[in-house]
Every structure is written in C-alpha cells, then in structure tokens.
Amino acid sequence: MRDESKPAYLEQLTTRLRERDAVIGIVGLGYVGLPLTLRYAEAGFRVLGIDIDGDKVDRLNRGESYLRHIATTDLARARANGFEATTDFSRADEADALIICVPTPLGAYREPDLSFVLGTTDALLPFMRPGQVLSLESTTYPGTTDEELKPRLESRGFVIGRDVFLVFSPEREDPGNPDFHTRTIPKVCGGVTPACLEAGVALYSPAIDRVVPVSSTRAAELTKLLENIHRAVNIGLVNEMKIIADRMRIDIHEVIRAAATKPFGFTPYYPGPGLGGHCIPIDPFYLTWKAREYGLHTRFIELAGEINSDMPHWVVGKLVDALNSRGKAVMGSRVLVLGIAYKKDVEDMRESPSVELMEILRDKGAVVDYSDPHVPVFPRMREHRFDLRSVELTPQRIASYDIVLLATAHSAFDYDLVRQYATLIVDTRGVYTAPLPNVVQA
C-alpha cells in the first residue's frame, strides 16, 4: 500500500533503488566517478556513465581501464553487469539517479571555478524528468547546491522535493589506499528538503556500508571542506616544524615517529615538498572565498596555505645549498626528479608539487629529467609543459646526474640503488632514515 504522506515520485524512486531496479547515471568518469561506477555495478545496478571525453568513453566500452588502481577485471565485471559509457547527455532521462563527479578547480585568481559543475548541470537539464534524484559530489563551498543547482532545476518547472530530489554528498576517494574502498568509506549526505534527503539516503544505502545523513546540503558541503582543511592545516604545521627542525639540525621524521608512539592526543602528519592532489591544495580556498561574503577572514587557514605553498621554494633552496657544497651552480646542473605523481604509488598528477619543483629548477637553468614508473610520459596539463619521458633507473644513469631530488616516494623505486650511485640526494620524504654523506634531508 502506498504511503500517502510521501510524494508519489519519492515512493517510486526509493522502491526502485531498494529493489536495485533503478538505473544509476554517473556523470564524470574520473578518479571519483569510475570507482563509484564499479561499486554500483557490483551492487547489482545498471550504470550509465556519461563523460565528455570520447577517447575515455571508447576505452571504457572496450573494457580498458585508464587508471592504475582500477583493475581491468573489475571493469570487465561492470560491463558484464550492464555498465555502458556514453558522451550523449540526452540519455540522462534513462537514469533514475544522476550523480555529478566533475572537477572543481581554482581560477586564475584562486577563486572557485564552478564551470564544470554548472556546465554539466546545464547539459543535463533539458533531459531531466520527474522522479529523478540529482546528487552533486564535487567539492565546493557551502551554498553551491542551494544557490546554483536548485534554481536551475526550478527553471525547468520542477518542484524540489516533490518532482525531483536534490542532494549533496561529498566524494571521499583516496586513490591507491589499500585499506579503504568506495563501499567501506562512510557517505555523508545532505538534502535540500527532507524528501530529498530520504532520496539521497535511498540512493547511497544499497552501495555504501554506512550513509551519514546531515541536516542540509550546506552542512554536507562544509563537512568536506573541514575534512580537507584539517589535513592542510596540520600538514602546514608539520612543514613549519620541518623548517625549524632543519635549522636546529634535528631530523623531523625521527621526531614524528617518536611522537606517534603516544597512544592518545597525537595524530602523525608528514611533511613534504608541497601539497598535491585535487583536494588539499584547492579546497581551503573555496571556504576562504565564501567566508568573505560573511565579512570573515580565515587567517588560520590562509597561514597554513602560505606555508604549504612556500615549500617547493624551500626545497629548491636546500637543493641549491647541496650543490653549492660540492662547488656546483644550479645553472647547468643535471637534476633527476624521482616521482612526479602527487602521492605515493598512483599516477595522479593533479596539483603535484613535483611539477612546480621541476619548473623552478628549469627557470634557474638546471637540466631536469624525471623518473616515475606510473607516469611513463609527461602528460598534457593545463598549466605545465615538459617534453619528457620517464628515465629508467640504472647505475650509469643515476650516476650521470649531479643531484637526485626525491619528491614522491613510490614503492617501485630501488632506494638502495639510488643511494649507492647518486652523487647527491635531496630527500623530501624521509626515506633515508640514517645519516648518509650523500643525502640531504629537505
């Protein structure tokens, strides 16, 4: 018997989701969208993937994975369960749920760039129909769902919470993390109305072990920002501690390892050559930008951002000092950068501090090469250009460089080989724990 207190479309939608009879549309098949696609297919749903990249769509429809941490066998299973990718946005009306997983970068003046989110929403709108739930997963400032997506849906004549349902549920993907997967990472979800929230919980519950409802889309949007700002601020703290420890001739990595033995009240964060990835270097600026609308200045967050942004220059300064100690100038020196992905054991280049290091060194006249088993050819990037291929690490090749800059500590590197044959090493990741005559910690 139908629950008369529920909007008819909501009851129909939640029933289809509960019975796994709904079609899930994932818009944006990248680092967030593709794992989510596989999870819904694994949970028994037919999934329609939509992406503007025709080459990516063709590869997926051939059963080829383009992400290192996504196995081709997993993709093959999804295809067998009915997953299909398309560039045709008009097929959005086939889906009962549309989940937007597109980038939210920063503009030229470090202001939020919502062009991908808004462009995607506008491309879907002509083909949306009553009875659908639309979920935004892209990280953004509080108010985006209410202020940008809601009016667009209403412009089509939809009543939010009766005809269509609008939610925000931030992504929490961590590529390459073997301990947590899409299914096991709790899913925060906020709705524009109570009916929207009910639709959002019904959408994610069959695929995610735990759904965490919150009171509004704004609370869900701020939750994601808090998670990443928490990391950015603590990394900023430990990066500043690294500079202090270096001046005092103390190994900050030894100090962190010792502090981490405390069983309460301390969480270890580790310094590096700068912040990378799509979230931590970008998300704080979404909040600082929005806070100005309320007359607030986020001093603490911006200070951490300033420290983290300065780290590549500090690392290059250590490299220059290391070369000077051997009587060499940085201009004309041959530098090998180990690891250009933004984090260990992934191919993800988004906001990688390694690329900034390479550019600073190139601008100073160094001859720069790189070695990264996960990035065989330097990719096309919006703001960075290098015509380079990954260098194979052989004794002769390592010895041919004036200095090796260890920027990303991939497991595949033979660090003993590097230590044995490198003239100088600048270690930004604390790989070499014992004092060595050719290793400089940075």
Distance CA 394, CA 417 (A): 8
**Active-site residue set:** 279
Sign, CA torsion 184/189/194/200: negative
| Type of residue at 430 | G
Cα separation, 180 vs 184, whole angstroms? 6
Q: Determine the Cα–Cα distance for residues 417 and 193; give it in Å rounded to an integer.
A: 59
Cβ–Cβ < 8 Å for 233, 304: yes
Contact of 69 with 44, CB cutoff 8 Å = no
What is the CB neighbour count within 10 angstroms for residue 268?
12
**CB 237 within 8 Å of CB 256:** no
Strand pairing report for 211-214 and 187-191: parallel
Three-class secondary structure of residue 438 per DSSP: coil
**In this structure, which long-range contacts are made by residues 244-251, counting pairs with CB atoms below 8 Å and at least 24 apart in sequence?**
246/318, 246/441, 246/442, 251/430, 251/433, 251/441
Neighbour tally for 326: CB within 10 Å: 12
CB atoms near residue 258 (< 10 Å): 9
Question: What would the two tokens of residue 272 be?
Answer: 């590096």
- Name the phi and psi angles at 14, rounded to 5: -65, -35
**Helices (DSSP H) in 248-352: which residue ranges?**
252-259, 283-292, 299-325
